Amino acid sequence: MTLTNRIFQGVAMAALATSALGGIPARAADLPRRTEAPMAPVYAPPVFTWTGFYVGLNAGAAISDSRYQFSPFFNQNGNGGVAFTGGGQIGYNWQMGALVLGLETDLNYRGRSSNNNGATGFGGANTSTAGYFGTVRGRLGFAATDHLLIYGTGGLAYGKTNFPTTIAGIDAFGTPRAFVGSNNNGVTVGWTAGAGLEYALTPNWSIKGEYLYVDLGRKSVAYVDALSGASLTASANNRNHVVRMGLNYRF
């Protein structure tokens, strides 16, 4: 075999080997592959926040802590009667970490109440009128858990003063007296402060328990002695302890 033939033979064998090796990846690509099953997507629940507007209703009891000064007849007359109260509220919260700031206003009805534990220690009775009161308050709260808010609140209070329409009893001189109010109507402005707990049942609904002390200030009230016809002016403070439950819807 000549040298030239040997060279051509070697080149042909090299080309054949290269062709055989080049087909291996192509055939390997045709083989079935083992693949992992796709993982199911994981959906994280939304993080609850107190931030946003809300509206709601409330109902509870208003316990009178009012005082009426009828000197020299009655040294001091108190009204500790308990009445129904109910109304509605609207507000907005801002949550920053565990701190929750809010602003709330409400308007409420207060029912008529009576008290038979009288005036000066000699016995007596009085009956207060029905009325209304409202508040505009700031709220400062702490999110103790994701769904539990503890807060303090305070601000402006206003409303129709809830003075007695009648007061009867024995005065400081032992004389029976019966006073009838002649101009108990009127709106006064005062202050309020309190605290409460609010719990989120769902992202939209929450319930709360709340205490407010509502002081509508001092006012002069005209009365007439039903027995003698004499008129007199009483100096009066109108104050209530309000204990109530509420339901809020959050937007």
Q: Global pTM?
A: 0.75
What residue segments make up the domains of the chain, in order of their start?
52-250
Distance CA 21, CA 26 (A): 10
Residues in the chain: 251
pLDDT average, residue stretch 128-136: 89
φ/ψ of residue 2, rounded to 5: -75, 165
Encoded tokens for 248: 């809020």
Predicted confidence (pLDDT) per residue in 139-153, tens digit: 999 999 989 999 999
| Nearest alpha-carbon partner for 246 in 135, 95, 81 | 135
Encoded tokens for 56: 């709601």
What fold does the segment set 52-250 form as a domain? Porin (2.40.160)
- Is pLDDT larger for residue 171 or for residue 229? 229
Distance CA 58, CA 205 (A): 14
Residue 168 confidence (pLDDT) above 80:
no
Q: Please give the mean pLDDT across all residues of the chain.
A: 81
What is the model's pLDDT at position 243? 98
Name residue, tokens 């500790």: 80
pLDDT average, residue stretch 73-94: 84
Predicted confidence (pLDDT) per residue in 212-233, tens digit: 999 998 888 788 888 888 887 7
| Nearest alpha-carbon partner for 79 in 99, 62, 59 | 62
